[in-house]
Amino acid sequence: MKNLFPLILCFLVATFAIAQSKKNDTQDTTEVFRVSKVGARGAAESRELLMDLYAEVGKEYNANIEKESTAQKVAYQGKQVRILKVLKETENGAPMYLAAYNGEPSVVAIAGDKKFKGGDLTPALKIRANGQHETKVTREIVERAKNNSPEPTLEKSSGGGVSFFGIPIDTGGGGSISSNEVEETVTRRRVTEVKTMPKYVATISDEVLNDGPAKFSKDIFVDSLKNGNVYSVKRKEDRRCQNCRGFQRVTTTLPVGLRDPDGKMPCPECKGIGNKPWNVTYQVAW
């Protein structure tokens, strides 16, 4: 039995090493899927992936309203908007905000005691149009370097958050530029310009939805995205290796004896499999 102990120990160590290797082979990424780009020429946002994400968002949405109904949480009639920036001006004493509303950047004056900050998603509001407003806007211009990828890729995000209409959310420091993963070479610059935008006045809704929120639908999905909502969907995916493009082998300069006769070797990135496992978080936005 004593003689078997070293063999058992080696087996356990090897098993752990293999498991750890497989675990480390799985890569994480966060990508922004912009629904407004679906169908656009050269866009990476496909209709097939949109349908999958729509189904996942719908399941979670309906589950959440079911929980809220069970908890007897009160729901109100109205529209939510995403606050992008707090403006210095006021409208009849009401704070004014640059916000994502109705699929475009808009200026919204929200009456009441509650104050909002950049990034907030407001409660349900009663909103009405109130002309136009001229305001200074800082947009982020993203120029992607041409790479060897044979197909377009989604915008990568690693903590900077989602911008809306090219406008980064301003939390008080002028708006944070979203960061991108190492493999995507981008140049980011800011352009400040004066724009005339639609203006709205709003109050926080007190109109109760007696039957609760409606079940998930295409209209609810699109409407909420246009008003700045962002849905997060996590998926496990096997993706083609970008090092060997799925061909499993790569050209190498290793000396004869360490490579195959044709000058190639198994791809070190995917270990000759052709694809790699990924944990993908999709941020579904307009």
pLDDT tens sequence across 104-125: 999 999 999 999 999 999 999 9
Residues sharing a CB contact under 8 Å with residue 223, sequence separation 6 or more, in sequence order: 79
pLDDT digits (tens, 9 = 90+) for 56-66: 999 999 999 99
279: its two tokens: 């944990």
Nearest-CA neighbor of 165 among 187, 197, 133, 134? Answer: 197
Domain locations in the chain?
28-285
CA dist 172 to 50, 84, 85, Å?
34, 10, 8
pLDDT digits (tens, 9 = 90+) for 182-222: 345 567 788 899 999 999 999 999 999 988 899 999 999 99
**Range of lowest pLDDT (74-78, 141-145, 241-245):** 141-145
Q: No. of H helices and E strands in the chain?
A: 3, 11
Instruction: Answer with the residue of higher pLDDT: 162 or 173.
Output: 162
pTM above 0.75, yes or no: yes
Distance of CA 1 to the CA centre of its chain: 56
99: its two tokens: 């916000």
pLDDT of amino acid 258: 73
Nearest-CA neighbor of 276 among 234, 232, 244, 233? Answer: 244
